[in-house]
C-alpha cells in the first residue's frame, strides 16, 4: 500500500509527523545540531516512571476480577450532549476539586450512544465497565459521542466566552460594547426610553413593559395581526430541552411569534404530517427490512446520526438491503459493496420526480396493499392489525361549480346521514363509497371503501356533484409522466425506479424512508408529499420496522407531580397570523381586501403568504428586515442563527437593515459568544453552556423506543453569579423580565403548580427543570431512589443546596437517580406490541389535504395541489426557475449538507474542529472538474444570478452527481469570533480560522425582490430556504 | 519481550469515517493543538459501477521491532511491559531521530517542550483496564481493543477469524499491533482519487 505513505523522506528537520500535516500548520521539529548518535538499542522493556500525557483516569478496573476502583478525584457524570440537536447522551469527566470538565464521551444508558445500551436500572459500576475491555464489555457496550460531541467542550473553553451583560457602545453592528450590570440590563430592556442617548442616539425605544400590551391591536385595519404584544419576536427554539422557556414565555407574554428552527431545518418534510395533526414518524431502523434514504445519509447525518449509524451497521450485517438517493455520496455507511448498501446519484431537487415514478410504478402494477388502501377509517384498520389508515378512499369535490370545490365531500353536501359530534368534539363527516353497496356513506360507517372512483353523486339540492376518490387524484397525478420521463428528470440510472419500487413493495409494511435533506429545495413539497404517500401504499405508519412515532417518552411536563406546560392565566391572543405570514392566504387578508375595494386590480403583497403552515423562522427574519406585514419592536435571539440558516440572507443589504434601529428598534441576544445575531444586537445576555444548563429532551426518532435525555449543570456555570445564587443565563433573564412587568407563570412566588394545586416559586431554571425531572422520575412506575454509594461516585452531595428546595424531600433521591443516568429510557423491546408500536394514535395518512388544496399562490391566485404533483423548482410567483435562468447560462446546482466537523452554526471556535477541518470545499464531479480544468485544491468562484460570488477550493470527487457542487453547512462565519470587536475599550481580535470556508449564497427571488424588498429564494409553497438546486456558474479563479 | 501484548483491531467495513476517534483522542490526551495521534483518511472508489467511500483510521502501529526505538540516542523511546512503544519525555532531547525513523510518520515534536509525542494506546487508561479514548468513542464498533495473548479476548478472536488481520504497509515488514479487516481490498484504490485526511485535502503523490 505504497501510496498510503505519501511523506517523502526528507530531513527530519522538515518532517513534522503526520499529525502536524493533518493539522495544516507544521509543528517545527527542533533541529538537532550535528550528528545524531544512534545507539543500537535492543528492546529495553524497561520500567521507568513514565509520564502520561493523558487526563486523570476515572477508575481502575481489574481485568481478572472486574473490580472497579473509582478515582475519588474524578466524577463521571452522565448528561446529554448539545453538540448538535440530536439529543444524544454524554459522559462528562469532571475534576472533583476544580469542577472543570476534563473530557467528554458517550453515555452508555442512552440509546443514541450505545447499542446495546445499559438498562436504566444497571448500576454505575456497570457504566464504568462499559468503558473497559475487562470481559470485553466495552467493546460491546461502550457509550459514544461523535466528533462534534467530543469537540463541544473544547468549543466552550473559548476564551472569548461572554460572561457578563453587554450593551452596545457604538452604532449597532459596529462592534463596540460596554459591560453593564444585570440590574441595568433588566431595567433598560423592561422600561425602554432613550437607551442610547449617551452615544448620541435620540430615538425612544419601547421596552418589554410597553410592548406587553395584549389589548391594543397592532393595526386596526388588519385585526388578524392581533395585539401589540405580538411585536415581541423570539427567534430560537430547538430540540435542546430548554426551548420550553421561549415557548411558554411567548404564550405568557401574548406573542405568537416564537420561532423554532423548523423552516430552515426542513419544514417541507414535515408539512404533510402537520396538515393532519398526526405524530411525526420516522423510519424504524432497528427493525426495518428495507430502508430508502433520500437526502438523509445513513451514518453521516440525521437525528441521531449515532443511533442511525449503529443500527444501520447492525441491520446491514443482518443481511438487509438499503438504497441511498443523494446528489452527494457523503460517506457514512456506504463503504463497501459487501454491505449491500448502494448510493445512487440524483440531480438535486428532483427527489419528488423519483418518488412519483415509484408511486406510478406501484399503482400501475397494483403492488400496493389492497387491504390497507381501502380502509376508510382507523377502527377498520386497527381491527386488522394495522397502525394507521389513509384517506385514499375519501371523496373529494372536483367541481368548479360547487361552492366546496377542492374540499372533501361531506355528508351534508349529499344530505345523507352523518355522525353527530360528541360534546366538545369536531366531526368531519367525510364520505366514501361503501365497497359492498357502492353507495356513499359517512366514512366511519363501513370497513372497506371503493378505491378508484371518478363520477357524479347527487347533491342535497338534487344537482349532481363531480367527485373523485383521493386515490384517483393521486393516480392521475403520478401518471402525468412515464417512469422513463421521471428517470430523465432525475438523471438517475435507467431502471432505478422499478428497482426501488419493487424492493419497497416486497416487505409488507416493514419498509421506511428518511427524507429531510431531500426536501430542502424550492419544490421541496413535491418530494415530501410523494414520500409521505409512498408509506401509505404499504401501510407502514405506526408499524414496527416501518415508520414509527418519534418523541415518545414519559410525561415530564403535565403530570404526575407538577403542571409545567400550561399557563391558565395566559392572555388571549386574537392573532390569526404570525409575522412569518403564516396562517392566511394573501387573498384573505384585510390588506388585500382593502386594496381590492379601493379599486386596485390584482393587488400584490410585498412578500408571499402561506395559509397552511406557520412559524417559518427564515421567513420571520425576512419579515423583520422588510417590516412586513408589521414591524417587530423587540427581537430576542437565542440559541439560533437564523441569519446563517437562511442561505440567501447573509448579504450586506440584510446586515444594513439588521443594524438599523428604525427597522428593528430593540434587539437582544442571549449567547455564549459574539455570534452573528449578537453582533447586530443592542444588548447581549450571557448564556450558560450545555454543561451548565438544564434540559429535558425527548428522544427523536429512527427507533421505536421510549425515553428522554436529561441535561443538567454538571459543572457550575461560569456566567456571573447573581446575589440570590442564580447564574446569569436565558432562564434567569426571562424570569426577571417577567417579574418586572408582572407576567403570569414566570418570576412569581407561585408561578409553578404541583398537581395538588399548590404554588411553587419560579425564578430559575432549577425551579422549573428539576420539577420536570421529578415528573419523569415518577411517571408510571416511579424509579428507585439513588444509593449513597452512587451519590458519592458522582459527587451529587456537592450539588447546590437550592436544588433540593425545588422538589420535595421524597422526590429528591429519585430526581438524583434520573440525573445520574442522564435521562430515563425503557428497554427498546418494551415498545413493541406485536407488529405495531405500543405508542400509537388514531393516525390518518392524508394523501389528499384540504388545507393544502385551499392554499393560493399570493401572486397568481392559483391553488396548490391537494396531493402529490411533480413541479420543477419554481420562483415565488410560480415562474419555473429555469425559464428565468437557463441551464446554458447557469449550468450548476447546489447541495448544502450537514457537516461532520461543524454543527449547524456552532463549533467553528473549537480548535479541535478547526485543525481537523480548516475549511469546507466546493465538492465537484471529476468529469466536471476536467471540463473546468480544475483539480483538488484549485480555487473556484461560484456565482448565482443575483451576482453573489463565493470563493473557495475545489474538492474533486467521484462520489457526486454531474453539474452539482456541494458545500457542507456551518462554515464561512462573519462573526462568532471571526470579526474583532471591543469591550470596555479593550480590543478583541478577530480570528480568521472561524471565518474560513464557504457559506452557500443562494440568490434573491427576482419576482419578489424589487422596490426595496429583500426575499431570498425559498420553497414556493412553504417558504423554507431553497438550499439545494438553484442556478449557478462555476469559474476557475 | 513484553509480558503481555495489547492490540487494536479495526474493521474497515464498519468504519464510517466520522472521526469521533480522532477527536476523542485529542480530548483525553494533552497534546499540542496541531498534533494528532490518530486520524482517518477518506476517499471515493468505484467498484462494479458503484461508488463507495472508504475510510482508513491510522495511528501508531506499536510495531514489535519498531525502528523508532533503536535510533533514540538517549533511550527515551522504549517498549513497555504491555508491548506498546512509548517515549519517556524526561529522557527525550527532541532530536527527532525517531520521527524520521518511523516509516508510518506518526511521531511529532512538541514545540513547547521540545520532546517527542505519539500515540500511547492511552497507556494510563489501558494499563488500568479502561479502553483507549479512540476505541471508547468508536460509534460503530469498528475498533476493538484487548490483549492478543488472552485467548478469550475479542481481539484475539478477530485476529483468528481474519487470518491475523491486514497490516498497514506490509512492505515495511513490520509486525504491527494495529490490525485491520478489509485493508488489503482497499489498497489498490488508495491515492487514485482525492483523499481527505480528517476534513482536509491531503496532497497526493500519485
Does residue B133 form part of some domain?
yes
Q: Apex CA A560: angle with CA A556 and CA A562, to 5°?
A: 70
- The closest of B169, B77, B108 to A40, measured between CA atoms, is B77
Residue B204 maps to a domain: no
Write out the three cell numbers for B45.
472508489
Measured between CB atoms, does B204 come within 8 Å of chain A? yes
Nearest-by-CA chain B residue for A902: B199
Task: Name the β-bridge partners of A78.
Answer: A91
At residue A277 the predicted structure's pLDDT band, cuts being 50, 70 and 90, is low
DSSP designation for A579: T
Residue A572 CB burial class (10 angstroms; 0-12, 13-18, ≥19): exposed
| A690 Cβ neighbours under 8 A, 6+ residues apart | A80, A81, A82, A83, A152, A156, A711
In A, minimum Cα distance to B21 occurs at A147
**CA A9 → CA A454, B58, B206, distances in Å?**
77, 19, 16
B186 is in which domain, residue-wise? 12-142+182-197
Residue A5 has pLDDT above 80, yes or no: no
pLDDT at A238: 84
**B123: which chain A residues are within 8 Å (Cβ-Cβ)?**
50, 52, 54
| A720: DSSP letter | P
Residue A19 has pLDDT above 50, yes or no: no
Q: Which residues contact residue A157 at a Cβ distance below 8 angstroms, ignoring those fewer than 6 apart?
A: none
* Residue B167, domain member (yes or no): no
Put simply, the answer to whether A147 touches B19 (Cβ < 8 Å) is yes
- On the 0-12 / 13-18 / 19+ scale of CB atoms within 10 A, A450 is buried
Is the pLDDT at A404 greater than 70, yes or no? yes
Helix (H, G, I), strand (E, B) or coil at A75: strand
Tell me whether residue B150 is in a domain.
Answer: no
Count Cβ atoms within 10 A of the Cβ of residue A749 and give its class: 0-12 exposed, 13-18 middle, 19 or more buried.
exposed
> Nearest to residue A279, comparing CAs of A609, A789, A700?
A700
What integer is the mean pLDDT of A28-36? 26
Nearest CA in chain B to A330: B53
Contact across the interface for A338 and B120, Cβ inside 8 Å: no
3-state secondary structure of A408: strand
With an 8 Å Cβ cutoff, are A300 and B16 in contact? yes
Phi-psi region of A94 (alpha: psi -120 to 50; beta: other; left: phi over 0): beta
Quick check: helix, strand or coil at residue A53? Answer: coil
- pLDDT value for A424: 81
Residue B42 lies in a domain: yes
Q: For residue B41, give every residue at least 6 positions away whose Cβ sits within 8 Å of its Cβ, in sequence order, or none.
A: A4, B55, B56, B58, B190, B195, B196, B197, B202
Q: Note whether A45 contacts B78, CB cutoff 8 Å.
A: yes
Q: Do B198 and A917 touch (CB under 8 A)?
A: yes
Provide the H-helix boundaries in A779-827.
Answer: 788-794, 801-805, 812-821
For residues A428 and A450, give the distance between their C-alpha atoms in angstroms, rounded to a whole number: 19
pLDDT tens for residues A325-370? Answer: 999 999 999 999 889 999 999 999 999 999 999 999 999 999 999 9
pLDDT surpassing 70 at residue A20: no
Q: Which of B27, B150, B25, B119 is nearest to A153 (CA)?
A: B27
Asked if A122 and A109 count as a contact pair (C-beta separation under 8 A), the reply is yes
Partner-chain residue, chosen from A24, A313, A900, that has the shortest CB–CB distance to B140:
A313
pLDDT at B160 over 50: yes
A509 touches A843 (CB < 8 A): no
Separation of CA A903 from chain center: 12
Beta strand ranges found along A30-73 (DSSP E)? 59-61, 68-70
Instruction: For A1034, list phi and psi in degrees, rounded to 5.
Output: -120, 130
Number of domains in chain B: 1
Q: What is the pLDDT of residue A517?
A: 85
Half-sphere exposure of A149 (CA within 13 A, CB side): 31
Could you tell me if residue B190 is inside a domain? yes
Percent of chain A with pLDDT over 90: 86
B residues 21..40 contacting A (CB < 8 A): 22-24, 26-37, 39
C-alpha angle A856-A859-A860 in degrees, rounded to nearest 5 = 65
pLDDT exceeds 80 at position A38: no
Query: Which residue's entry shows cell 345523507?
Result: A416
Give strand pairing partners of A549: A281
User: Per the omega criterion (within 30 degrees of 0), is the bond before A116 cis?
Assistant: yes
- Cβ of B153 under 8 Å from any chain A Cβ? yes
A871's grid cell: 413541479
- Which residues 45-64 of B have a C-beta within 8 angstroms of A? 45-48, 50-56, 58
**Interface residue B67 vs chain A (CB under 8 A):** no
Which of A6, A103, A916 is facing B199, going by the closest CB pair? A916
Return the closest-CA partner of residue A135 out of A65, A84, A42, A192. Answer: A65
Say yes or no to pLDDT of A701 above 90.
no
pLDDT at A279 (0 to 100): 73
Predicted confidence (pLDDT) at residue B109 exceeds the cutoff of 50 = yes
B62 phi-psi bin (left φ>0, alpha ψ -120 to 50, beta other) = left
CB B139 within 8 A of CB A309: yes
Partners of B50 in beta bridges: B47
The total number of residues written for chain A in this structure: 1037
Return the pLDDT at B118: 96
Nearest to B131 among A12, A133, A306 (CB): A133
Interchain proximity B80–A45, CB inside 8 Å: yes
User: Which residues on B lie below 8 Å from A155 (Cβ)?
Assistant: none
Distance of alpha carbon A271 from alpha carbon A275, whole angstroms: 6
CB B70 to CB A38 under 8 A?
A: yes
At A300 the pLDDT is 94
| A90: nearest Cα among A158, A161, A153, A155 | A153
- Give A985's pLDDT tier (boundaries 50, 70, 90): very high
- DSSP conformational letter for A630: S
- Is A335 in contact with B55 (Cβ distance < 8 A)? yes
pLDDT for A796-847, tens place per residue?
999 999 999 999 999 999 999 999 999 999 988 888 999 999 988 999 999 9
Chain A residues in contact with B191 by the CB 8 A cut-off are: 3-4, 6
pLDDT digits (tens, 9 = 90+) for A848-901: 999 999 999 999 999 999 999 999 999 999 999 999 999 999 999 999 999 999
- Judged by DSSP in three states, B79 sits in strand
| Interface touch A53/B90, C-beta < 8 Å | no
Q: Please say if the pLDDT value at position A48 is more than 60.
A: no
Q: Give tens-digit pLDDT for A498-525.
A: 999 999 999 999 999 999 888 999 999 9
In this structure, are residues A329 and A345 in contact, taking their beta carbons and an 8 Å threshold? Answer: yes
What are the chain A neighbours of B19 within 8 Å (beta carbons)? 147, 900-901, 916
> What pLDDT, in 10s, does the model give residues A419-452?
988 888 888 899 999 999 999 999 999 999 999 9
How confident is the model at residue A271, as a pLDDT?
81
B162 and A CB contact within 8 Å: no
Q: Read off the pLDDT band of B2 (50, 70, 90).
A: low
Tell me the C-alpha distance between A706 and A838, whole Å: 10
Nearest CA in chain A to B74: A39
Please tell me the distance from the alpha carbon of residue A306 to that of residue A142, in angstroms, as a whole number: 13
Are the C-beta atoms of A297 and A716 separated by less than 8 Å?
Answer: no
| Closest residue to A41, CB basis, from B23, B69, B141 | B69
What local confidence, expressed as pLDDT, does residue A502 receive?
98
Residue B92 at interface with chain A, using a CB cutoff of 8 Å? no
Give the pLDDT score at A50: 65
Q: Cell 384540504, residue? A: A850
| A579 phi/psi in degrees, rounded to 5 | -70, -15
What angle, 0 to 180 degrees and rounded to 10, lies between the N-to-C axes of helices A147-155 and B20-28? 40
Q: 3-state DSSP call for residue B110?
A: strand
Does a structural domain hold residue B157?
Answer: no
> Which runs of E-coded beta strand occur in A919-1016?
922-925, 939-943, 949-957, 964-968, 981-983, 986-988
Within 10 angstroms of residue A295's Cβ, the number of other Cβ atoms is: 31
pLDDT of A199 above 70: yes
Q: Pick the residue with more confidence: A28 or B62?
A: B62
C-alpha torsion sign, points A79, A81, A82, A86: negative
Domains, in order of start, for chain A: 59-145+695-728+747-826 (no CATH), 271-369+494-549 (3.40.228.10), 370-421+433-476 (no CATH), 879-1036 (2.40.40.20)
Q: What is the mean pLDDT of chain A?
A: 93
Of A19, A131, A147, the CB nearest to B20: A147
Main-chain dihedrals φ then ψ at residue A662, nearest 5 degrees: -70, -30
Give me the mean pLDDT over the A394-406 stretch.
Answer: 97
Longest dimension (CA), chain B: 54
Is residue A963 left, alpha or beta, with left meaning phi > 0 and alpha meaning psi from -120 to 50?
left
Q: Which residue is closest to A2 within chain B, CA to CA?
A: B169
**In-domain check, residue B108:** yes
In the structure grid, which three cell numbers stand for residue A611, read together? Answer: 395559509
Query: Residue B192 sits in a domain of what CATH number?
Result: 3.30.70.20
Amino acid at each position: 500500500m505504497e501510496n498510503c505513505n505519501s511523506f517523502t523522506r526528507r530531513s527530519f528537520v522538515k518532517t513534522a509527523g503526520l499529525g502536524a500535516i493533518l493539522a495544516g500548520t507544521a509543528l517545527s521539529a527542533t533541529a538537532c545540531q550535528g550528528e545524531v548518535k544512534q545507539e543500537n538499542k535492543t528492546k529495553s522493556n524497561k520500567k521507568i516512571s513514565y509520564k502520561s500525557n493523558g487526563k486523570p483516569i476515572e477508575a481502575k478496573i481489574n481485568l481478572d476480577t472486574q473490580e472497579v476502583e473509582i478515582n475519588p478525584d474524578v466524577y463521571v457524570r452522565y448528561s446529554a450532549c448539545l453538540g448538535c440537536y440530536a439529543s444524544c447522551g454524554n459522559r462528562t469527566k469532571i475534576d472533583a476539586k476544580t469542577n472543570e470538565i476534563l473530557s467528554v464521551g458517550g453515555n452508555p444508558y442512552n440509546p443514541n450512544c450505545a447499542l446495546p445500551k445499559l438498562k436504566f436500572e444497571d448500576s454505575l459500576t456497570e457504566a464504568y465497565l462499559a468503558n473497559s475491555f475487562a470481559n470485553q464489555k466495552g467493546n460491546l457496550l461502550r457509550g459514544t459521542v461523535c466528533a462534534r460531541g467530543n469537540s463541544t467542550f473544547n468549543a466552550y473553553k473559548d476564551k472569548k466566552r461572554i460572561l457578563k451583560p453587554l450593551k452596545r457602545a457604538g452604532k449597532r453592528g459596529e462592534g463596540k460594547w460596554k459591560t453593564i450590570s444585570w440590574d441595568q440590563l433588566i431595567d433598560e430592556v423592561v422600561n425602554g426610553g432613550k437607551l442610547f442617548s449617551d452615544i448620541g442616539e435620540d430615538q425612544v425605544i419601547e421596552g418589554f413593559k410597553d410592548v406587553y400590551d395584549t389589548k391594543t391591536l397592532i393595526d386596526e385595519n388588519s385585526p388578524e395581526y392581533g395585539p401589540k404584544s405580538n411585536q415581541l419576536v423570539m427567534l430560537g427554539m430547538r430540540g435542546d430541552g430548554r426551548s420550553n422557556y421561549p415557548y411558554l414565555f411567548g404564550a405568557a407574554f401574548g406573542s405568537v411569534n416564537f420561532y423554532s428552527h423548523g423552516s430552515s431545518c426542513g419544514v417541507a418534510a414535515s408539512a404533510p404530517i402537520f396538515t393532519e395533526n398526526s405524530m411525526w414518524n420516522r423510519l424504524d431502523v432497528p427493525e426495518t427490512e428495507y430502508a430508502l434514504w433520500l437526502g438523509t445519509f445513513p451514518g453521516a447525518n440525521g437525528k441521531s446520526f449515532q443511533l442511525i449509524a449503529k443500527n444501520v451497521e447492525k441491520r446491514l450485517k443482518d443481511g438487509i438491503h438499503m438504497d441511498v438517493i443523494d446528489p452527494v455520496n457523503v460517506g457514512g455507511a456506504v463503504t463497501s459493496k459487501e454491505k449491500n448498501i448502494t448510493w445512487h446519484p440524483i440531480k438535486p431537487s428532483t427527489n419528488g420526480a423519483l418518488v412519483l415514478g415509484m408511486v406510478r410504478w406501484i399503482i400501475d402494477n397494483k403492488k400496493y396493499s389492497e387491504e390497507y388502501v381501502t380502509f376508510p377509517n382507523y377502527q377498520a384498520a386497527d381491527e386488522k392489525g394495522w397502525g394507521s389508515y389513509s384517506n385514499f378512499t375519501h371523496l373529494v369535490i372536483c367541481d368548479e361549480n360547487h361552492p366546496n370545490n377542492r374540499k372533501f365531500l361531506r355528508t351534508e353536501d349529499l344530505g345523507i346521514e352523518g355522525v353527530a359530534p360528541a360534546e366538545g368534539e369536531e366531526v368531519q363527516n367525510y364520505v366514501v363509497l361503501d365497497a359492498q353497496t357502492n353507495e356513499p356513506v359517512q366514512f366511519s360507517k363501513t370497513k372497506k371503501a371503493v378505491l378508484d372512483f371518478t363520477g357524479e353523486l347527487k347533491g342535497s339540492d338534487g344537482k349532481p356533484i363531480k367527485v373523485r376518490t383521493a386515490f384517483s387524484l393521486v393516480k392521475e397525478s403520478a401518471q402525468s409522466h412515464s417512469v422513463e420521463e421521471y428517470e430523465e428528470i432525475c438523471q438517475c440510472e435507467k431502471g432505478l425506479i422499478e428497482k426501488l419500487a419493487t424492493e419497497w413493495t416486497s416487505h409488507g409494511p416493514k419498509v421506511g424512508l428518511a427524507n429531510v435533506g431531500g426536501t430542502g429545495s424550492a419544490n421541496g413539497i413535491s418530494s415530501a408529499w410523494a414520500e409521505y404517500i409512498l408509506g401509505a401504499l404499504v401501510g407502514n405508519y405506526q408499524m414496527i420496522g416501518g415508520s414509527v412515532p418519534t418523541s415518545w417518552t414519559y410525561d415530564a411536563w403535565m403530570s404526575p407531580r407538577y403542571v409545567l406546560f400550561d399557563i391558565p392565566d395566559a392572555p388571549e391572543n386574537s392573532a390569526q397570523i404570525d409575522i412569518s405570514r403564516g396562517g392566511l392566504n394573501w387573498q384573505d387578508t384585510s390588506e388585500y381586501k382593502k386594496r381590492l375595494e379601493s379599486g386596485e386590480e390584482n393587488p400584490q403583497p410585498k412578500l408571499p403568504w402561506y395559509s397552511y403552515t406557520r412559524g417559518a423562522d427564515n421567513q420571520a427574519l425576512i419579515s423583520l428586515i422588510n417590516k412586513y406585514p408589521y414591524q417587530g419592536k423587540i427581537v430576542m435571539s437565542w440559541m439560533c442563527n437564523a441569519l446563517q440558516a437562511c442561505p440567501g440572507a447573509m448579504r450586506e443589504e440584510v446586515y444594513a437593515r439588521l443594524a438599523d434601529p428604525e427597522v428593528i428598534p430593540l434587539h437582544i441576544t442571549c449567547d455564549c459568544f459574539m455570534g452573528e445575531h449578537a453582533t447586530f444586537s443592542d444588548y447581549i445576555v450571557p448564556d450558560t453552556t450545555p454543561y451548565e444548563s438544564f434540559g429535558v429532551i425527548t428522544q427523536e426518532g429512527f427507533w421505536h423506543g421510549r425515553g428522554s435525555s436529561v441535561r443538567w449543570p454538571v459543572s457550575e456555570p461560569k456566567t456571573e453569579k447573581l446575589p440570590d445564587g442564580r447564574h446569569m443565563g436565558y432562564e434567569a433573564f426571562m424570569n426577571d423580565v417577567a417579574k418586572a412587568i408582572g407576567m403570569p407563570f414566570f418570576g412569581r412566588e407561585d408561578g409553578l403548580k404541583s398537581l395538588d394545586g399548590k404554588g411553587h416559586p419560579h425564578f430559575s431554571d432549577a425551579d422549573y427543570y428539576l420539577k420536570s425531572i421529578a415528573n419523569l422520575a415518577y411517571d408510571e412506575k416511579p424509579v428507585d431512589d439513588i444509593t449513597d454509594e452512587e451519590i458519592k461516585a458522582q459527587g451529587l452531595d456537592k450539588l447546590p443546596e437550592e436544588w433540593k428546595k425545588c422538589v420535595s424531600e421524597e422526590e429528591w433521591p429519585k430526581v438524583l437517580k434520573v440525573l445520574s443516568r442522564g435521562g430515563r429510557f425503557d428497554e427498546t423491546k418494551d415498545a413493541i406490541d406485536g407488529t405495531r408500536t405500543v405508542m400509537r394514535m388514531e393516525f390518518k395518512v392524508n394523501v389528499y389535504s384540504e388545507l393544502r388544496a385551499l392554499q393560493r399562490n399570493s401572486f397568481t391566485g392559483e391553488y396548490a395541489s391537494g396531493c402529490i404533483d411533480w413541479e420543477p423548482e419554481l420562483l415565488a410567483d410560480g415562474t419555473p426557475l429555469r425559464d428565468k435562468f437557463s441551464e446554458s447560462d447557469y449550468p450548476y446546482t447546489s447541495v448544502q449538507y450537514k457537516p461532520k466537523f461543524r454543527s449547524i452554526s456552532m463549533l467553528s471556535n473549537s480548535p479541535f474542529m478547526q485543525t481537523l477541518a480548516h475549511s469546507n470545499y466546493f465538492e465537484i464531479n471529476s468529469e466536471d472538474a476536467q471540463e473546468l480544468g480544475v483539480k483538488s485544491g484549485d480555487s473556484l468562484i461560484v456565482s448565482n444570478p443575483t451576482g453573489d460570488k463565493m470563493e473557495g477550493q475545489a474538492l474533486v470527487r467521484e462520489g457526486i452527481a454531474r453539474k452539482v457542487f456541494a458545500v457542507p453547512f456551518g462554515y464561512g462565519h462573519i462573526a462568532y469570533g471571526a470579526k474583532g470587536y471591543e469591550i470596555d475599550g479593550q480590543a478583541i481580535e478577530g480570528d480568521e480560522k472561524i471565518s474560513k470556508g464557504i457559506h452557500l449564497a443562494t440568490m434573491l427571488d427576482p419576482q419578489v425582490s424589487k422596490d426595496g424588498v429583500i426575499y431570498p429564494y425559498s420553497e414556493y409553497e412553504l417558504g423554507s430556504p431553497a438550499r439545494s438546486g438553484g442556478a449557478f456558474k462555476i469559474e476557475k479563479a | 519481550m513484553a509480558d503481555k501484548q495489547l492490540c487494536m483491531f479495526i474493521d474497515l467495513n464498519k468504519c464510517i469515517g466520522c472521526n469521533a476517534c480522532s477527536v476523542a483522542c485529542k480530548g483525553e490526551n494533552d497534546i499540542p493543538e496541531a498534533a494528532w495521534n490518530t486520524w482517518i483518511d477518506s476517499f471515493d472508489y468505484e467498484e462494479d459501477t458503484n461508488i463507495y467511500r472508504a475510510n482508513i483510521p491510522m495511528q501508531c502501529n506499536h510495531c514489535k521491532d519498531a525502528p523508532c526505538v533503536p535510533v533514540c540516542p538517549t533511550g527515551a523511546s522504549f517498549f513497555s511491559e504491555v508491548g506498546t512503544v512509548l517515549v519517556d519525555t524526561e529522557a527525550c532531547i527532541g532530536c527527532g531521530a525517531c520521527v524520521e525513523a518511523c516509516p508510518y510518520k506518526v511521531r511529532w515534536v512538541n514545540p513547547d517542550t521540545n520532546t517527542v509525542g505519539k500515540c500511547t494506546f492511552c497507556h494510563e487508561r489501558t494499563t488500568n483496564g479502561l479502553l483507549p479514548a479512540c476505541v471508547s468513542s468508536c460509534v460503530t464498533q469498528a475498533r476493538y481493543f484487548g490483549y492478543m495473548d488472552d485467548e478469550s479476548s475479542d481481539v484475539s478472536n478477530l485476529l483468528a477469524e481474519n487470518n491475523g488481520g491486514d497490516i498497514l504497509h506490509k512492505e515495511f515488514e513490520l509486525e504491527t499491533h494495529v490490525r485491520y479487516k478489509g485493508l488489503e481490498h482497499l489498497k489498490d484504490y488508495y491515492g487514485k482519487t482525492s483523499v481527505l485526511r480528517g476534513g482536509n485535502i491531503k496532497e497526493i503523490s500519485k
